[in-house]
Structure 1
């Protein structure tokens, strides 16, 4: 039977298969846009689905238990993660495949068996086709249609048999795509999205018990790197037009079915390759993922604003993708800095300084989360700033996985967000990567950090006994002072840190700290240490009312 544990194995097998085939799938990506990222987008979407499943079960403090209980919840988590993390056209379609499984499993009465699997593939096909404004044969939709039809015709009571029939039919349909689309015939390749779907279906059969080496594979593409030449890069878009220069995607909530219908029409008027897919909430009141190719980015976003509340807006210029075709098509830029942060205000500071951000506000990221974020930067060389000693191990494991896939990653083991900001302050893309890493590491190491906490109970510390409400100065994990209130504690802690010298003091105010706390600290330091520059930011952290850094 299909259960939560099997769905988890399927997700892992799918991500592993897509990672192995990622470069090959990217290389044959000529439709609907020859931007060389279909494999990458499907991999990141599947990783996002798996991340959501693991996060859901970590929050529930329970393992993936065998048996049907929990299967519907696991399938829903996969669908939700894929919808939120969908990348590109192929990712949007993959999210609808997982939604089809979630809906069929959620409606199942009793065991999740072969009949439910047939229903899931049929539902996945209908949802995926509905997601595309102008569906064409010879694409991933054709491959999915063949898989769903084969599953429906297979009368076996074993899910493994039904899945194997679907995968075999998908492989045959994939071979046929070359002759179904002129764009594919000119490049001499099969459809990239269909190839990615076959990998996912093969992974399902493997998760159900068939050895991976028995998976049916499409014939090798007649051409690989040559498919990325000028002819492929000027292939027509989905609507037969090459007039559009940007891909725009965003999540949308606070809407309904009527406004989503109007949004589809509006986006169809400003661009092509329109896909608007939701989570199936009644009346369209849930979450939607919106995708369009256009020239007027502002018009696409404004249409989203009229329909509801757009967020997580991303814009990609196709020319940037085409420019990367001469090398590894996974990478659209040379350099990036990826920083882990746990508060929105700090995240904004990091972005303003040029960093990509991993949001750790709700839960600490694991190695898989960081690996997905590294791939998501689409940068050839990445500096990773974990910002917490407890995350350094996860960061190193994620970096090791990224290096195996060809991405250059260096971890600077920052122990606080202020060390990360110090490293960002000296980051210079004009320097050689190695020199830049050295400068950033030196800046981080040269930043001493400490913070204030409010004692919640009586305790014995290295500097004496504290009572509830006392303010504790914490440095290197140890209590170094006890103060009567935050204002006094900030002054005492700053003076103590400056006894070893310093040129710049940076203060990050916590989420509930008063602005006056930072103002009083700055005034005192400008009077007592005029040689020191002082900057105060709203950090928004919830653990420390105040964090100080001295450089």
Structure 2
């Protein structure tokens, strides 16, 4: 398969893949985190920073100019930077933005894609930006060592005429080799028996980029803390108590050195990262025992916003609760373009089964569910599985989400019609337990069934069927056999209304006869006067119709 051009679409795909891969490797990276502070959050910080970059890139949809997209990635990372590693990542993306902006200016127009020469130059520029943001001193054995190895290798291969895919593959392998050397370069890593956590996280991003371009994901073994490679030295002083971060605007460049000096006096791991080469916005980071003084130092230099003060945890691995942008969200698993639009209009976040699956039932994996939970950006998430997530995957995914610090409530919706019933009573203003109970009760009260077309001759509880017959199904049993879909649907609706009801909802799937909605509306008007009837062309796969009665 030929290599893919690294154009705007490919860059968005890379950012999306990078977020997914960071979710997979976050625990691994966190366990490696011993430098500069053993607070077990490097993987989490990289993930949330990359999520912020991806969100900014997705908001720039429609632009085919690579320089505009890299600027969005850089800006999103700077504004959403988490921790020391997040600040570094923002500068790596800024390196990409600066170099592509310069290339676009040289061509007097939009930049269509990034080649090996540009990528190598961007990463080389990023090395300088990262070192500068961290005070001007390159510490061997850190993420900078891995970044430098990748940049140099890509530049060398590009100079020899290699294409982007070849150069990226070689660069990723060089990054892996550099990561393996980090314990030999930094005593604290050797003492803990680990490689550098930031370097491991950066390698995840490089591997994701290589996979995006070449179609082949490099295979890397998982890293776990091993036995110390050297004997531990005397105990180090206790690290600072707090991590302080904020955005700084309206700051004159002359004020940066005094600010850095003041922050270095107050603590360690000082980082001041600029948004653009000529901008006046900065992301400021420091570990300190005096959080108030660190903020005051920023106020003396400019306008401070988005202040984050967190207690540094040095007691071992943990999951961060994340930077949630809202209190509560509903995550609905749906199939079909119409269904995605319908649930989205009602305020739900949407997760869809893989479009390549012939049958979407139970088609969502735990990993996909975790990714969607994190992407909601909410501290509390009500999950509507709607029959598209197997029980074991649902439990596994929700448990992992809880481990991320998300309050996850999985509601018993076995069909999208039950999901709509639950969503109709959702009220984010109520307490979570009250909201969850009300939604679960509404879902349970919605009797539901489906209609599909028979594909073979068979004997059912409702009699024998032939290929092409309509089958009305409820509770996994065939209750109605009719000559066509409309006949099966009217028979099933009659059965569901035996116990009463005020509203019949029918979701019309992909390939259904467009006249079936009118036929059902006419039937309900004649046989069940006073009953409300609603149809939605959801375009779902599998069953032709999904029917609910409330």
Give the TM-score category using the shorter length: 0.5 to 0.7
Q: TM-score, normalised by structure 1?
A: 0.60
Equivalent residue of 1:316, what SS? strand
Distance 1:445 1:19, change over 3 A: closer
Aligned position for 1:176 = 181
Quick one: distance in 2 between partners of 1:336 and 1:92?
A: 19
Equivalent residue of 1:421, what SS? coil
Quick one: distance in 2 between partners of 1:55 and 1:367?
A: 19
Q: Is the 8 A contact 1:44 1:372 kept in 2?
A: no
Aligned position for 1:322 = 314
Aligned position for 1:410 = 409
Query: Segments of 4+ in structure 1 off by > 4 A?
Result: 363-368, 370-379, 399-402, 411-417, 442-446
Aligned position for 1:124 = 126
Shift of 1:365: 6.8
Shift of 1:235: 7.7
Equivalence map 1:377-392=2 (5 Å): 383-384=380-381
Equivalence map 1:100-179=2 (5 Å): 100-108=95-103, 109-110=106-107, 112-133=114-135, 134-154=137-157, 155-179=160-184
> 1:296 pairs with 286, 290, 297, which one?
290
The CA RMSD over aligned residues, in Å, is 3.9
Where structure 2 has 5 or more consecutive residues not aligned to the other structure, the ranges are 108-112, 331-343, 353-368, 403-407, 412-421, 442-550
Distance 1:143 1:401, change over 3 A: farther
Bigger radius of gyration, 1 or 2?
2
> 2:257 pairs with 261, 273, 295, which one?
261
Shift of 1:29: 0.9
Q: Is the 8 A contact 2:41 2:320 kept in 1?
A: no
Quick one: distance in 2 between partners of 1:295 and 1:373?
A: 36
Q: TM-score, normalised by structure 2?
A: 0.60
Would you say 1:192 and 2:197 are equivalent positions? yes
> 2:75 pairs with 74, 80, 96, which one?
80
Quick one: distance in 2 between partners of 1:242 and 1:248?
A: 17
Aligned position for 2:89 = 94
Aligned position for 1:273 = 269
Distance 1:9 1:420, change over 3 A: closer
Aligned position for 1:338 = 327
Q: Is the 8 A contact 2:133 2:272 kept in 1?
A: yes
Quick one: distance in 2 between partners of 1:324 and 1:332?
A: 15
Quick one: distance in 1 between partners of 2:27 and 2:377?
A: 13
Deviations 1:506-545 (A, max 9, x none): xxxxxxxxxxxxxxxxxxxxxxxxxxxxxxxxxxxxxxxx
Aligned position for 2:484 = none
Q: Is the 8 A contact 2:154 2:168 kept in 1?
A: yes
Q: Is the 8 A contact 1:104 1:120 kept in 2?
A: yes
Aligned position for 1:39 = 43
Equivalent residue of 2:194, what SS? coil
Distance 1:162 1:84, change over 3 A: same
Deviations 1:453-504 (A, max 9, x none): xxxxxxxxxxxxxxxxxxxxxxxxxxxxxxxxxxxxxxxxxxxxxxxxxxxx
Q: Is the 8 A contact 2:150 2:175 kept in 1?
A: yes
Distance 1:376 1:253, change over 3 A: farther
Shift of 1:248: 0.5
Shift of 1:364: 9.0
Quick one: distance in 1 between partners of 2:435 and 2:385?
A: 20
Q: Is the 8 A contact 2:28 2:224 kept in 1?
A: no
Distance 1:299 1:99, change over 3 A: same
Quick one: distance in 1 between partners of 2:298 and 2:126?
A: 26
> 1:421 pairs with 419, 424, 429, which one?
429
Count of matched residue positions in the alignment of Structure 1 and Structure 2:
376
Q: Is the 8 A contact 1:117 1:162 kept in 2?
A: no
Q: Is the 8 A contact 1:14 1:200 kept in 2?
A: yes
Quick one: distance in 2 between partners of 1:375 and 1:210?
A: 26
Where structure 1 has 5 or more consecutive residues not aligned to the other structure, the ranges are 342-359, 387-391, 425-436, 447-551
Distance 1:47 1:92, change over 3 A: same
Q: Is the 8 A contact 1:324 1:332 kept in 2?
A: no
Deviations 1:224-244 (A, max 9, x none): xx89xxx89x985xxxx5341
Deviations 1:62-94 (A, max 9, x none): 3x6xxxx41111111111111111111111111
